[in-house]
Amino acid sequence: MATDSDFTPIREVGEFGLIDRMKTILGKPTNDDVLAGISDDAAVYRIDDDHVHVMTTDVLIEGVHFDRLINPMEYLGMKSIAVNVSDVVAMNAEPRYATVGLGLPETVSVEQVESFYQGMRKACERYGVTVVGGDTSAAHQLTISVTVVGEARTRDVVYRRGAAPGDLLCVTGDLGGAFAGLKILLRQRQELQERGDDFAPNVEEYQYVIQRHLVPTARLDVVRAWREAGVKPHALIDLSDGLGSDIHHVCTQSGCGAELHVAAVPVALETRRVADEFEEDVDTFALFGGEDYELLFAAARDDLEKIEDESYSVIGRFTAESDVTVKMPDGTTFPLGKGGYDHFRDESGT
Amino acid sequence: MATDSDFTPIREVGEFGLIDRMKTILGKPTNDDVLAGISDDAAVYRIDDDHVHVMTTDVLIEGVHFDRLINPMEYLGMKSIAVNVSDVVAMNAEPRYATVGLGLPETVSVEQVESFYQGMRKACERYGVTVVGGDTSAAHQLTISVTVVGEARTRDVVYRRGAAPGDLLCVTGDLGGAFAGLKILLRQRQELQERGDDFAPNVEEYQYVIQRHLVPTARLDVVRAWREAGVKPHALIDLSDGLGSDIHHVCTQSGCGAELHVAAVPVALETRRVADEFEEDVDTFALFGGEDYELLFAAARDDLEKIEDESYSVIGRFTAESDVTVKMPDGTTFPLGKGGYDHFRDESGT
């Protein structure tokens, strides 16, 4: 066992450093039914000759992932299901069952827990999920740990590892909105704290971006439409950490690189307006904001022709070189580092 | 949504009150594949005509379920897997896959997380579990949330609800040991704090009970032996909350009562010695101590004849009346209340 003198702070290795250590210590799965382990959005294991289940866990902790002053309990209930469903969707699978672990501080009331459950129910109805179990305990911080199991035909599953040079780099929806919403909510929280009850938050004007942050949508609609159209992307990931970080996961596992055109990255008008208001660069929101829960995928041009045009944007292509290059609107390029969001390195409130 | 004026503290309804509210708000599962939901040791859902998967989550939180001063990280890793495997075993299923959610405070080092993973690996090898995924985050308290999925033939699954009047009430192993171990460890922690580095904890003398607390064993060996012998109990639960609480879960769901003979409850010599040392009643340890992770089951006399004698003790019988009666060694009886351990009502350190 380690002695007290060996004390490496976790922030020195970060979340991905811990995952690497976990993989090394646990070793490669010896169970042949495991088709994907700790390296994708969700694990994949065989349940019969033609079907697999996928399984994923997300932990949401007060003060790290959310702030109860700006995240109402009902929305937290919805979000805690949606972010896990998003991981199931990112394997091209259908969500089925969930368990919910809750750590509840004394400052949370029974009524608030009920609001949380009501939010969970709404999200479960929307995505076809059944909550089959859970565990609750006292805790100092509100802690939410949800596990979702989903189902797919073995041949439908899409991994992160399938992108090939020449594939088009695509995303669904628009990016940066969740981060813009967070900026607005944090500003409103500050105004509320400074001006007390006199202050009425302006929610109307920023409805779209606030909702993007508080209640993200898992794009189950998109993968269902793909399956109906007979389209299967080559690689797939959900955009939780942020485009700039998640693109690296796909490239590393696929053994290729990518070229990303910033001018082509879809951004909503309201997101752009918020960036302007804060005098910040909207491209930063879109590249590094995170938490949009849209899908990034690699696809052949032929496949894209079978999909509805409005559901996605082509923002670049995969390349044979191993690095990720960003092309700015003015024609300049820069290499995109691997740094994404790491909860151990930044505790600034989201 | 609830207003601020509605503030019912969670300790007023407790853990089981929250579970009831969760069941009410989420409603009965509409998914026909769900054979058991939030009412048993683990949820049960169909994966094909003859097989089910079971799924369970347990949350372990520093300061509520454990204390890092007395629970070494490697043992915590083993325990966090074992307590979930125990829930799978309590459905008469085989554990298969696990995900691990970790909330890590700054006072935990990378080396300690590695010890935790090493403990997980040992437990996984022992029980045949593959860790397929997880999530880690910063947190104020060390928080461990493990979900385990297991597999069984549909006809092998044993629920809490199957006990019938006349069935024998049995338990595996011996009880109260985990609680005795906790008493010793808490005393040693106090001595360590008072006397500093001069103090060398006496681990040798209390080896059995300390190990019962730190590294509980899920009785996978027992259910495997039953299946080999063609024996299927009528009802089954694992003893996590404590005999006095868990017997009520079986009786309530089976719609019957029970008569429990305290003199027949198996207690290890070392457990008895610890109770004597503390001048406490060993029957209280055995009835209410909890965390022994042995199995309580209802069985017909014919079935018991097929099982090895040393693996279980008959400690009473199920009755047609709805209450649970305890017979003391001196012949007196008293009704056993439903109060078991509730993490929202007692935060005294376990």
Residues A300-340 pLDDT 10s: 999 999 987 788 999 999 999 989 999 988 889 989 887 65
Query: Nearest-CA neighbor of B90 among B47, B140, B54?
Result: B54
17-46 of A, contacting B, C-beta below 8 A: 17-19, 21-22, 25-27, 29-31, 33-34, 36-38, 42-43, 45
Q: Which of A24, A99, A148, A343 to mutate to test the interface with B (most CBs of B within 10 A)?
A: A99
Count the neighbouring beta carbons within 10 Å of the beta carbon of residue A74.
Answer: 22
- In the predicted model, what is the mean pLDDT of chain A? 92
Task: Give the nearest partner residue to B45 out of A2, A108, A132, using CB atoms.
Answer: A132
The residues, ordered by sequence, that sit 6+ positions from A85 with a Cβ below 8 Å of its Cβ are A95, A123, A127, A129, A148, A150, A218, A220
Q: Is the pLDDT of residue B338 over 60?
A: yes
State the pLDDT at residue A4.
Answer: 53
State the pLDDT at residue B73.
Answer: 95
ipTM of the complex in this document: 0.93
CB distance from A349 to chain B under 8 Å? Answer: no
Q: Which of B52, B136, B291 to mutate to test the interface with A (most CBs of A within 10 A)?
A: B136
With a pLDDT cut of 70, the percent of chain B lying above it is 94
State the pLDDT at residue A59.
Answer: 97
Q: Which residues pair with B98 in a beta bridge?
A: B131, B148
Residues of B in contact with A140 (CB under 8 A): 63, 140-141
List, edge to edge, every strand of the sheet that includes B333-335. B235-238, B295-299, B168-172, B312-319, B257-261, B324-327, B333-335
- Eight-class DSSP state of B145: E
State the pLDDT at residue B280.
Answer: 96
CB distance from A164 to chain B under 8 Å? Answer: no
DSSP code string of B295-311? EEEEE-HHHHTTS-GGG
Task: Give the nearest partner residue to B99 out of A53, A57, A72, using CB atoms.
Answer: A57
Average pLDDT over residues B158-185: 97
A4-8, A118-122, A186-190, A287-291: range with lowest mean pLDDT? A4-8
Average pLDDT over residues B231-244: 96
- In the predicted model, what is the mean pLDDT of chain B? 92
State the pLDDT at residue A194.
Answer: 86
Average pLDDT over residues A136-165: 97
3-state secondary structure of B177: helix
With a pLDDT cut of 90, the percent of chain A lying above it is 82
Q: Which residues pair with A322 in a beta bridge?
A: none
Q: Is the pLDDT of residue A243 over 90?
A: yes
- Cross-chain Cβ contact B110/A141 below 8 Å: no
List, edge to edge, every strand of the sheet that includes A51-61. A34-36, A43-46, A51-61, A143-153, A94-104, A130-138
Using pLDDT thresholds of 50, 70 and 90, give the confidence band for residue B343. low
87-146 of A, contacting B, C-beta below 8 A: 96-97, 99-104, 106, 108-115, 117-118, 120-121, 124, 130-141, 143, 145
State the pLDDT at residue A98.
Answer: 98
Q: Is the pLDDT of residue B4 over 90?
A: no
A346-350, B118-122, B152-156, B287-291: range with lowest mean pLDDT? A346-350
Average pLDDT over residues A203-208: 88
A305-309 LR contacts (CB < 8 Å, sep 24+): A306/A229, A306/A230, A306/A231, A307/A225, A307/A226, A307/A229, A307/A231, A308/A225
Taking the C-alpha atoms of residue A241 and residue B132, their distance in angstroms, rounded to an integer, is 20
Structure tokens at B343: 């993490």
Residues of A in contact with B102 (CB under 8 A): 59
The answer to whether the CB of B250 falls within 8 A of the CB of B219 is no
Using pLDDT thresholds of 50, 70 and 90, give the confidence band for residue B339. low
Q: Is the pLDDT of residue B76 over 90?
A: yes
Structure tokens at B6: 């509605």
Pseudo-torsion of CA A189, A193, A195, A197, nearest 10°? 90
Q: Is the pLDDT of residue B236 over 80?
A: yes
Q: How far is CA B214 from the centre of its chain?
A: 13
299-318 of B, contacting A, C-beta below 8 A: none
Using pLDDT thresholds of 50, 70 and 90, give the confidence band for residue B308. confident
State the pLDDT at residue B349.
Answer: 38
State the pLDDT at residue B342.
Answer: 61
State the pLDDT at residue A202.
Answer: 74
Residues of B in contact with A238 (CB under 8 A): none
Average pLDDT over residues B204-224: 95
State the pLDDT at residue B350.
Answer: 39
A43-52, A117-126, B307-316: range with lowest mean pLDDT? B307-316
Residues of B in contact with A39 (CB under 8 A): none
Alpha helices in A29-129 (DSSP H): 73-89, 110-127
State the pLDDT at residue B2.
Answer: 46
Taking the C-alpha atoms of residue B36 and residue B161, their distance in angstroms, rounded to an integer, is 11
Using pLDDT thresholds of 50, 70 and 90, give the confidence band for residue B9. very high
Q: Is the pLDDT of residue B22 over 70?
A: yes
- Cross-chain Cβ contact B38/A115 below 8 Å: no
State the pLDDT at residue A5.
Answer: 64
Q: Is the pLDDT of residue A350 over 60?
A: no
Taking the C-alpha atoms of residue B318 and residue B324, their distance in angstroms, rounded to an integer, is 9
Residues of B in contact with A47 (CB under 8 A): 47-48, 53
